[in-house]
Amino acid sequence: MDSPTRKFVPKSTRLMDQVREVLRFHHYAYNTEKSYVSWILQYIRFNDRCHPKDMGKSEVEAFLSYLALNRGVSASTQNQAFSAIVFLYKQVLHMDFDLDIRASRARKSTRLPVVLNRKEVADIINQLNGTAKVLTQLMYGCGLRSLEVIRLRVHDIDFSQKQIIIRAAKGNKDRVTFLPTNLVSLLKAQIISVEQLHQDDLANGFGEVFLPDALARKYVNAAKSFGWQYLFPSKTISKDPRSGKSMRHHLHKSALQKAISQVVKKLGMQKRVTPHVFRHSFATHMLEDGANIRMVQTLLGHKDVKTTEIYTHVMSTQFDNVQSPLDNLQQ
């Protein structure tokens, strides 16, 4: 995502259409666009639908305090709402904005991640089938986020170097992780399947896939090239919400969530298992096996090693040589 430094004057007269135009001009992700639009609408409705030009610091403080005190949102959620409002005033309305906001702040909390032991990971993967199984193996085997794995393109798999390229990940940064040997044959078969589907789409007048704006302008025919196709495509052709073109998008993340949820229920597990738990388990098991924490940080794409350090608190090995005093109590 480009840093919003250039002044852009939208063509639309309606405020929310202007917000969308400016967000797209600066190449914000579609999910970010939806979030920002939602927060700005909530801010306006909270203040009796007044136009933001007629509001200022006191209204912003009241809204952010309401989120923290009445809705009990997390610190990160409150920060996202604040970022959306700052974007509105500075980039859309081009108004001076006082960043010294004295709203009630949501409390930051540190929650230990849910981590599966190795048997639990194996039990779940063995019960999964098809695409859901491969996706889960990629998350656990490579430490990918759920959106990262479903957004993989065919050319992101480098079999010769045994690595996977994750493009435009969190923070709009690229990174590289390794390709587990156990996944090579599965991914080669998946690519063959995608190639056949792509040929069918081209024959039916489709075959185009979403590309970031800059790439779409620079490489006009890239959207129909095989390498840019999603590795895990949707079963149906759909209309892109921005361009309006009919194309095949990637698989929706809810499909993986549903498949894992069904297996966890079938196995009778009591842990709250989401797809992201497999990323947590990857990091924890890597550290348990003696991997350098800086290497794990790089593989996960964490900006700060302190984020990676949370996994040291859930490693099973840290209790191997200690015993509860209750176990030594003479009763």
Give, for all 331 residues of the chain, the pLDDT tens digit. 444 456 787 777 899 999 999 998 888 888 899 999 999 999 999 999 999 999 988 999 999 999 999 998 888 899 999 999 999 999 999 988 877 888 888 877 677 899 999 999 999 999 999 999 999 999 999 999 999 999 999 999 999 999 999 998 887 789 999 999 999 999 999 999 999 999 999 999 999 998 876 677 777 788 899 999 999 999 999 998 888 889 999 999 899 999 999 999 999 999 999 999 999 999 999 999 999 999 999 999 999 999 999 999 888 766 666 777 777 786 6
Chain position carrying tokens 């984020």: 307
Q: Is 230 an active-site residue? A: no
Helix (H, G, I), strand (E, B) or coil at 245: coil
Q: Tell me whether residue 109 is exposed, middle or buried, using C-beta atoms within 10 angstroms of its C-beta: 0 to 12, 13 to 18, 19 or more.
A: exposed
Secondary structure element (H or E) that encloses residue 303, with its range = none
What is the pLDDT, as a whole number, of residue 1? 43
Active-site pick, 24, 34, 155, 276: 276
**15-92, which class in CATH?**
mainly alpha
Report DSSP state, residue 89.
Answer: I
Contact between 117 and 123 (Cβ < 8 Å) = no
Euclidean distance between CA atoms 134 and 190, whole angstroms: 9
Measured from the Cβ of residue 222, the count of other Cβ atoms closer than 10 Å reads: 14
Active-site pick, 28, 43, 140, 311: 311
Q: Is 43 an active-site residue? A: no
Contact between 144 and 166 (Cβ < 8 Å) = yes
Contact between 235 and 273 (Cβ < 8 Å) = no
Chain position carrying tokens 């698989």: 251
Q: What is the pLDDT of residues 296-329, one digit of tens each?
A: 999 999 999 999 999 998 887 666 667 777 777 8
Euclidean distance between CA atoms 39 and 63, whole angstroms: 10
Q: Which runs of E-coded beta strand occur in 87-233?
A: 157-158, 163-166, 175-178
Active-site pick, 145, 153, 248, 280: 145
Q: Is 51 an active-site residue? A: no
Contact between 29 and 37 (Cβ < 8 Å) = no
Q: Is 20 an active-site residue? A: no
Q: Which two tokens stand for residue 184?
A: 């090579």
**111-317, which class in CATH?**
mainly alpha
Contact between 36 and 84 (Cβ < 8 Å) = yes
Active-site pick, 151, 279, 280, 285: 279
For residue 130, give Cα distances in angstroms to 51, 61, 121: 51, 49, 17
* CA 68 distance to own-chain centroid: 24
Nearest partner of 181 among 195, 163, 155, judged by Cα: 163
Nearest partner of 31 among 278, 210, 224, judged by Cα: 210
* pTM for this model (two decimals): 0.80
Euclidean distance between CA atoms 195 and 198, whole angstroms: 5
Active-site pick, 24, 57, 90, 170: 170
Q: Is 170 an active-site residue? A: yes
Measured from the Cβ of residue 111, the count of other Cβ atoms closer than 10 Å reads: 7
Euclidean distance between CA atoms 67 and 51, whole angstroms: 20
Segments making up each domain of the chain, as ranges: 15-92, 111-317
Q: Are 15-92 and 111-317 in the same CATH fold?
A: no
Angle at 89 between CA 86 and CA 92, to 5 degrees: 115
Euclidean distance between CA atoms 165 and 155, whole angstroms: 9
Q: Is 311 an active-site residue? A: yes
